[in-house]
């Protein structure tokens, strides 16, 4: 059976998505303040890791990693509305790249499974 990651286009699809997605995030007034003081190159690498994971690609992230990685943002007010904004920006990115809607839905559902950990609930 072909995995979600393979169906989307694997590493090449992730590379194509990183620039578009990260530019959307940095321009998104709802969430851009969370990215204000981070190094661009490191952040781009993290976005790539995030997109790889979101598209069901190889990753070793655990719920605990997600909690730890976002705890400092939760203290700065990260909540459900910001999580939704990121998922929305991701959806718009994939749409721009002509990924079929049913795959976008699958990806959004995969993101959803991390919500509690990301928001430290």
Partner 1 sequence: MAKIRYSGQVHESRHGESVLECLTAHGVSVPSSCHAGVCQSCMMRVVQGRVPAAAQSGLKPAHVAKGFFLACICRPDEDVEVAFIDEALQKFPAEVVEISPLNSDIVRVRLRPRQPLDYSPGQFIRLYKGPGVSRFYSLASVPKLHHEDIHIHVRKMPNGLVSGWIHETLHAGELVDISESLGECFYLSGHPEQGLLLMGTGCGLAPLYGIILDALTHGHQGAVRLYHGSVNTAGLYLIEELSALSEAFPNFEYVPCVSGDEAPPQGFAPGMVLDVAMARHPDLSGWRVYLCGNPDMVSTGKREAFLAGASMGEIFADPFLPASSAAACQ
Binding site for partner 1 (CB under 8 A): 18-19, 22-23, 26-27, 39-42, 44-46, 48-49, 52, 58-61, 65
Nearer to partner 1, 38 or 109 (CB): 38
Neighbours of 4 (CB within 10 A): 15
Minimal distance, residue 42 CB to partner 1, in Å: 6
45 or 71: CB nearest partner 1: 45
Q: Is there a contact between 48 and 22 (Cβ–Cβ < 8 Å)?
A: no
Least spacing, CB of residue 102 vs partner 1, in Å: 26
Of 102 and 113, the one with the shorter C-beta distance to partner 1 is: 113
The distance of closest approach from Cβ of residue 59 to partner 1 in the complex, given in angstroms and rounded to an integer, is: 5
Q: Whole-angstrom Cα distance, residue 86 to residue 42?
A: 18
- What is the three-class DSSP state of 78? coil
Quote the least distance from Cβ 47 to partner 1, whole Å: 9
Q: Please compute Rg for the chain using Cα positions.
A: 14
Strands (E), 23-100: none
């Amino acid at each position: 059976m072909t995995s979600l990651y393979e169906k989307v286009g694997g590493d090449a699809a992730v590379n194509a998505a990183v620039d578009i997605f990260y530019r959307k995030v940095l321009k998104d007034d709802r969430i851009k303040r969370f990215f204000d003081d981070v190094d661009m190159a490191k952040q781009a690498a993290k976005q790539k890791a995030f997109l790889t994971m979101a598209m069901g690609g190889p990753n070793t992230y655990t719920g605990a990693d997600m909690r730890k990685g976002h705890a400092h943002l939760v203290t700065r007010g990260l909540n459900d509305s910001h999580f939704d904004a990121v998922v929305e920006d991701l959806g718009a990115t994939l749409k721009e790249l002509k990924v079929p809607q049913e795959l976008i839905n699958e990806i959004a559902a995969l993101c959803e499974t991390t919500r509690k950990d990301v928001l430290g609930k």
